[in-house]
Amino acid sequence: MARGFSHVLNSSPLQPGDLQLEIDNVFLAFGGVQALSGVSLEVKQSEIAAIIGPNGAGKTSLLNCVSGLYHPQEGSIQFYNGRPHTLTSLKPYEIAKLGIARSFQNIELFKHMSVLDNLMLGRHVHLKSNIFWGGLYWGRAQREEVENRKFLEDIIDLLEIEAIRKQAVGTLSYGLQKRVELGRALAIQPSLLILDEPMAGMNSEEKEDMARFILDVNEEHGVTIIIIEHDMGVVMDISDHIAVLDFGVKIGDGTPDEVQRDPAVVKAYLGEEHGTL
């Protein structure tokens, strides 16, 4: 595996190309505001699927439905990892235990804590020792701590953050904080990784690094990735499959080449007179 990764990052029993996430006819409303209107989408194991669209299109709302932060009024969301799981009835921590991790548009780290401690929080779904043994730091709890730290060292190496592992997150640059947030999501050991604007606010060099890490996680470890990103150059370069939302409705779905030639997508983004994306 890449960079000598000694642990299994993606534990999904599925084979590349198998259906992993099925979103079927999802409706979500907040009062009189219709955020999603009959959105359907399929994501296959080991692909990078991008969700794009203008601001307010419903992209983050859709991801929030997948991760359990929102519960749609209609429709179903099925996650497959050997057997189907209906996500619309589960809480966020239950969805995380199934192997679905996410990062957020706005950084959600504990800035007074070190990089390593923030990453360790991502391992909480894998801890089995109770509070008594955890407090004693003995026996099973000690073995768990050692094994989890070994796993985190692999992630630190993968994301090239060895030099900052003991620094408080709040002292780091914005780009490095985004990298740490990616690491915390990877600490869950996901088979499906959801990234909400992972490159927002980054300079070109930081974007190149983040794209490289995303491709490493996908290509070398087989982790399925769903990404929301406004940088169309990045989206077209790294995505296998793109879905396009506009005012809560899916208006396009296909390969990057198919999507950028779709007249409805071009009109929603640029206006008809501008041609392709």
Residue 128 lies in a domain: no
- What is the pLDDT, as a whole number, of residue 76? 97
State the number of CA atoms in the 13 A half-sphere of 23 facing the CB. 25
Residue 150 lies in a domain: no
Tell me if 189 sits within 8 A of 11, measured CB to CB.
yes
3-state secondary structure 109-130: CCCCCEHHHHHHHCCHHHCCCC
Residue 135 lies in a domain: no
Residue 169 lies in a domain: no
Residue 236 — very low, low, confident or very high, per pLDDT cuts 50/70/90? very high
Tell me how far apart the 2 most distant CA atoms of the chain are, in Å: 68
Of residues 242 and 108, which shows the higher confidence score?
242
Tell me if 170 sits within 8 A of 117, measured CB to CB.
no
Q: Pairing state of beta strands 33-44 and 48-52? A: unpaired
- How far separated are the first and last CA of the chain, in Å rounded? 36
Burial 77-100 (b: 16+ CB within 10 A, else e): bbbbbeeebebbebeeeebbebbb
Percent of the chain with pLDDT over 70: 86
- What is the pLDDT, as a whole number, of residue 142? 66
Can you give the CATH number for the domain in which 207 is found? Answer: 3.40.50.300
- What is the pLDDT, as a whole number, of residue 6? 52
Range of the domain at 261: 2-7+14-113+191-274
Give the Cα separation of 191 and 13 in Å (integer). Answer: 9
Residue 153 lies in a domain: no
Count the helix, strand and coil residues of the chain and give each as a percent rounded to the nearest 5: 40, 25, 35
Tokens 């209906």 correspond to 86
- Residue 136: pLDDT over 60: no
- Distance from chain centroid for Cα 120: 18
Give the Cα separation of 100 and 185 in Å (integer). Answer: 9
Give the Cα separation of 69 and 90 in Å (integer). Answer: 10
Which DSSP state fits 161?
-
Neighbouring C-beta atoms of residue 11, cutoff 10 Å: 13
Residue 245 lies in a domain: yes
- Residue 146: pLDDT over 70: yes
Residue 138 lies in a domain: no
Q: Which of 184, 176, 45 is nearest to 103 (CA)?
A: 184
Q: How many helices (H) and strands (E) does the chain have?
A: 10, 10
The count of structural domains within the chain is: 1
Which DSSP state fits 168?
B
Residue 34 lies in a domain: yes
Two tokens, residue 49 = 């699927």
- What is the pLDDT, as a whole number, of residue 133? 42
- What is the pLDDT, as a whole number, of residue 134? 47
Q: Which of 32-41, 107-116, 209-218, 242-251 has the lowest mean pLDDT?
A: 107-116
- Residue 274: pLDDT over 90: no
- What is the pLDDT, as a whole number, of residue 123? 80
